[in-house]
Amino acid sequence: MNAAVISSYAYIKENVNYGSLFQYFALESFFKKNGIDSFWIKYEFSPKNDLKSKIKHVVFYKFEKEKKIILNAFQSFCSKYLSLSDNSYTDSSLSCDKISADFFVTGSDQVWGGELGANYLTFVTDGRMKVSFSASFGSNEICVEKANKIYPWLKEFDFISVREKSGIVICNKMGLKAIRIIDPTLLIDSSLYPSKITRQNYWFCYFLNKGKEENGIFSSISELAKKQKKSVFYPKCLQPQDQCKKFFFGLSLDPESWIGMYSNTEYVFSNTFHGIVFAIIFKKPFTCFLQNGKTRRQNERLLDLLEHFGLEERIFNGRDVYISKQIDWKKVNLIISQDRINANDFLHSIQERVLNKGNYNEY
């Protein structure tokens, strides 16, 4: 049995986002463990040739050059560890006619944060099964206009699972049934993630959407690290306006090295969903920082994650960047075990439905 997955491939072609890459790695690993061969559909956006993009490449030349090196490392990782579709597709060429799969999947991550038809499997028009696996809307509510647009697409799904509790509410308001499935990165053991370990005695920072207000936080982390004789590292190439570089050591991290930093760090500081997820996966103490300004809506998924594991106390309180209280990892592991049971049950239901509907492999 095989599955074709559309997710964030287009996104990681242009953006350095380790979480987007590893959520698919985990999903493919989880499927394989359950007897499903899956592949990532190489769906790509049309290249940007507008004036704004050209100016950005000139102004941030050094950043864009280094970013390209890391993005090439992302593609090397895909070639080495992941199954990809033979062909690449754009909006105009994406069609289920030439894609051989028993069923189609969208997810995980914020695939439903926008209104891109491909992420709602609108290109699957031949009656084959449509499934969402841990899809996220990226916020706790959507506007009426968006609901009206995506409802005809979602009602064609055979199975809907969402990552956050708010996603269930959104679907229910449209009269659609949905269940919650945790992010796939949490469905596989930490030992399955390929890693490179080269450092000892350090703290790791992973921040996105940073602003000037974070300078005070970074300064506090840096001062505390010096007192405790720790080095603080962060991955470069996340965004041009890098506020971390004044205080920490920036590293050009390929995907395996990024995992290696989590595997061997003594503490994690992050304001991102997957930044905190991987701290949980590798059982590292952490402080979670909420985002401000235009990206505040990103906090919904962070708060949902921490509430799910009973770890709300790990949120930065405005004073202490370092939290000395130990995490009850036994409790966390019990929750993850139940999450995996739920995900297995969900996947087995899909497999049974596929077998009952027949085989669609031959075209």
Structure tokens at 77: 């990782």
What is the tens place of the pLDDT at every residue in 28-58?
999 999 999 999 999 997 666 666 666 665 5
Rounded to an integer, the average pLDDT of 261-290 is 97
Nearest CA-CA partner of 81 in 73, 71, 92: 73
**In the block, residue with structure tokens 């899909």:** 350
Find the CATH number of the domain harbouring 274.
3.40.50
pLDDT at 271 over 90: yes
- Per-residue pLDDT, 56: 62
Helix, strand, coil % (nearest 5) of the chain? Answer: 45, 15, 40
Q: Mind listing the pLDDT tens digit for each residue in 11-20?
A: 999 999 999 9
Q: Model-level pTM?
A: 0.93
pLDDT band (50, 70, 90) for residue 213 = confident
Banded pLDDT at 59 (limits 50, 70, 90): low
Nearest Cα residue to 77 out of 18, 27, 159, 154: 18
Same structural domain, 175 and 78: yes
Q: In the prediction, which pLDDT does 363 show?
A: 24
The pLDDT value given to residue 270:
96
Residues 178 and 194 in one domain: no
Per-residue pLDDT for 195 more than 90? yes
Helix (H) or strand (E) holding 224: helix 214-227
What is the extent of the structural domain holding 110?
Answer: 2-188+338-357
Q: Is the peptide bond before 92 cis (omega within 30 degrees of 0)?
A: no
Instruction: Provide the pLDDT for residue 340.
Output: 98
Considering the domain boundaries, does residue 148 fall inside one?
yes
Q: How many domains does the chain have?
A: 2
| Measured distance CA(250)–CA(236) in Å, rounded | 5
Helices (H), ranges, 139-187: 144-154, 165-173
User: In terms of domains, do 163 and 255 share one?
Assistant: no
**Res 80 pLDDT > 90:** yes
Task: Report the range of poorest mean pLDDT among 7-16, 58-67, 238-247, 267-276.
Answer: 58-67
Enumerate the β-bridge partners of residue 251: 235
Query: 52-56, 189-193, 213-217, 258-262: which range is least confident on average?
Result: 52-56
What are the pLDDT digits (tens) for 60-77? 667 788 899 999 999 999
The whole-number pLDDT of residue 338 equals 98
Residue 241 lies in a domain: yes
Across the chain, what does the average pLDDT equal? 92
Contact 275, 211 (CB under 8 A): no
**CA distance linking residue 128 with residue 295, whole number of Å:** 37
> In this structure, is residue 333 part of a structural domain?
no
Tell whether the model's pLDDT for residue 312 goes beyond 90.
yes
Q: Is the pLDDT of residue 198 over 90?
A: no
pLDDT cut 70: percent of the chain above it: 93
pLDDT digits (tens, 9 = 90+) for 83-133: 999 999 998 999 999 899 999 999 998 999 999 999 999 999 999 999 999
pLDDT value for 53? 61
Whether residue 7 sits in one domain with residue 111: yes
- Residues 214 and 238 occupy one common structural domain: yes
